[in-house]
Amino acid sequence: MTISDTDILFLGECVRQAAQAEIMPRFRNLGATDVSEKTSATDLVTQADLLAEHRITAALKERFPAALIVGEEAYDADKSVVPALADAELAFVIDPVDGTFNFAAGLPVFGTILAVTVRGETVAGIIHDPVLGDTVTAIKGAGTFLTRQDGQSSKLKVAEPAALDQMVGGMSWGHMDEPDRSRICANMAKARMTFAFNCSAHEYWMVASGKLHFIGHSKLMPWDHLAGVLAHQEAGGHTAKFDGTPYRPGETTGGIISAPDRESWQLIRREIVGI
């Protein structure tokens, strides 16, 4: 199974249409009944999440009826879909509103993510910013590109390697347990500057475009990471799990680090993660 250039254009349009029709009309316009807690007060779902995922899913099913479709919001009803990514002939992974807490708070730092996998390999990824209308598109073996709302396009490249005290980065420690949580928070003081976006879409956007040197996560749900990891790798970066192995579709544990190159990755693993 292959994904054509025409398919990529179709997928990008699906994401943009969902953002225009379901996400942006509800941004800073949510009622009390439009937001619900999932597992905690910081893990939310809104009507924008549900309706955008439904719209994208319907479009994908119409064009690719045999494909496996994994949506973040549909996952609770059938958790078997995530491990099925390891062997699926063709699969699409959707995060309709990545950064839902930010979205619900009225903070314009959220995105829509769509990844494409073929037989256990991520072959394409789309990260769309509904507020700016800009889109990052990564294709296996063809690079990562930023397309502005006005149609201008540029190829992305990761940051050049730097000394740790000159690096800018972020580690999403919110899902970590102790003692990892406290150790990593303390070690982040070794970097030049740190950021916490609470949004994988923007974190991968920033690291793939060279604005951040590194990012790291402990929780590896596929809708948060598959598209972003491909974007980072196709922009020239090195991403691997904490144990050094590649991150693959279907995996949800083991932690992950994205850095400019393998040497930088090893430095972050040793000095920040502390393993």
SS3 assignment for the chain: CCCCHHHHHHHHHHHHHHHHHHHHHHCCCCCHHHEEEEEECCEEEEHHHHHHHHHHHHHHHHHCCCCEEEECCCHHHCHHHCHHHHCCCCEEEEEEEECHHHHHHCCCCCEEEEEEEECCEEEEEEEEECCCCEEEEEECCCEEEEECCCCCEEECCCCCCCCHHHCEEEEEHHHCCCCHHHHHHHHHHHCCEECCCCCHHHHHHHHHCCCCCEEEECCCCHHHHHHHHHHHHHCCCEEEECCCCCCCCCCCCCCEEEECCHHHHHHHHHHHHCC
Which whole number is the average pLDDT over 199-224? 97
Which whole number is the average pLDDT over 206-211? 98
| Residue 42: per-residue pLDDT | 83
Q: For the segment 31-60, what is each residue's pLDDT rounded down to a tens digit? A: 989 999 988 888 899 999 999 999 999 999
At the fourth CATH level, which superfamily is domain 5-155?
A: Fructose-1,6-Bisphosphatase, subunit A, domain 1 (3.30.540.10)
| Residue 38: per-residue pLDDT | 86
At the topology level, CATH places domain 164-272 in D-Maltodextrin-Binding Protein; domain 2 (3.40.190)
| Residue 43: per-residue pLDDT | 85
Burial of residue 275, with CB atoms counted within 10 A of its CB: 0-12 exposed, 13-18 middle, 19 or more buried:
exposed
Which of 251 and 2 is assigned the larger pLDDT? 251
| Residue 76: per-residue pLDDT | 84
**Residue whose token pair is 């347990």:** 177
pTM for the model stands at 0.96
Q: Is 72 annotated as a binding residue?
A: yes
Q: Is 203 annotated as a binding residue?
A: no
Which whole number is the average pLDDT over 13-25? 98
Retrieve residue 183's tokens. 């150790």
| Residue 163: per-residue pLDDT | 98
| Residue 64: per-residue pLDDT | 97
For residue 1, pLDDT beyond 80: no
CATH 3.40.190.80 residue window(s) in the chain: 164-272
Which whole number is the average pLDDT over 177-182? 92
| Residue 96: per-residue pLDDT | 97
Residue 256: which of 236, 273, 240 has the closest Cα? 240
Q: Is 224 annotated as a binding residue?
A: yes
CATH 3.30.540.10 residue window(s) in the chain: 5-155
Q: For the segment 221-271, what is each residue's pLDDT rounded down to a tens digit? A: 999 999 999 999 999 999 999 999 999 999 999 999 999 999 999 999 999
Which whole number is the average pLDDT over 92-120? 97
